[in-house]
Amino acid sequence: MKILVTGGLGYIGSHTVVALQNKGFDVVIIDNLSNSSLDVLAGITEITGKSPDFEKIDMRQKEDVVSFFEKHKDINGVIHFAASKAVGESVNKPLAYYENNLGTLTTLLQELQKIESAPLIFSSSCTVYGQADKLPITENAPIKPAESPYGNTKKVGEQIIEDTCNAYPNFSAIALRYFNPIGAHSSALIGELPIGVPQNLVPFITQTAIGKRAELSVFGDDYPTQDGTCIRDYIHVMDLAEAHVVALERLLNKKSEDNYEVFNIGTGTGNSVLEVINAFESANQKSLNYKIAERRKGDVIAAYADTTKSKTVLGWTPKHSLQSALKSAWEWELALSKKE
């Protein structure tokens, strides 16, 4: 079966391509290389022993997407990652985010209506919940006003897909609301490649540990949590990749209860920033230079998933611990430093 993965050379996309190829799927990747590189393609090939098809396409160029689908009429399913993803940047460049994240989604959905049966997995986010009223967060938690244009593109993206599913009963889709992906493939051949200053905690930790950054800033220690720092649900990227394969198989095997479904993808455990720092230090025998800084605008206090639905309905359970994810992140940082 032939699966299209948009943004398939990005962080989560590349690990999902590995999981798909290991399950015997034929993969074709679309990526514009704005946040990735061809080295990732080589890493995927080395890990799986198979090179996925790749086409460099910017999905904002509608005619290029149309001609891609004219050429690839045998696509059986799509996993859609291609999007801009920096929260801070989205505040300064909202129109670029709406064009790149929503315009491209609309184009993709229009093309999928021309194919007899090609279901969609959408890369969504727990940002749609904002600061949830109750923890852990279930899929029925109210969707809050977005804290940023990025968060809004995920919220509106879900609405566009749900409206499409309502209008076209033969079309099916699943939105996966991820919590906080971390870590890297155990081979250390692919991993997270932040451009510039990392926006996420774990790459900042690994870059500080290796000496690329002088110190790590912990944004706020006066939150109403056990140690005053924010709490998140950190999930190993390979567990997240496996969830995409399980969700895709659910659609391909027509096991869905509805033609539009939503699942939380997290571990169900919340860890504070200081707990993650301590876990990294103990997993890798490294001490980190960190300081407490001012709170960061837009950060919610705590977010972690209720994973009951993903376990019982989707049949997916994460396998990796926080320590193993942090160990793999450090091994990836070490591998990167050898290339530089």
Q: Which residues are catalytic, by number?
A: 150
Helix (H) or strand (E) holding 124: strand 120-125
Tell the burial category of 71 from Cβ atoms under 10 Å away from its Cβ (0-12, 13-18, 19+): exposed
Core vs surface per residue 208-244: b (16+ CB within 10 A) or e:
bbeeebeebebbbbebebeeebbbbbbbbbbbbbbbb
Candidates 214, 186, 183; CA nearest to 200 is 183
Contacts of 186 (CB under 8 A, 6+ apart): 238, 328, 331
CB of 126 closer than 8 Å to CB of 302: no
- Retrieve residue 19's tokens: 């999981």
CA distance linking residue 323 with residue 86, whole number of Å: 26
Measured between its terminal Cα atoms, the distance across the chain in Å is 38
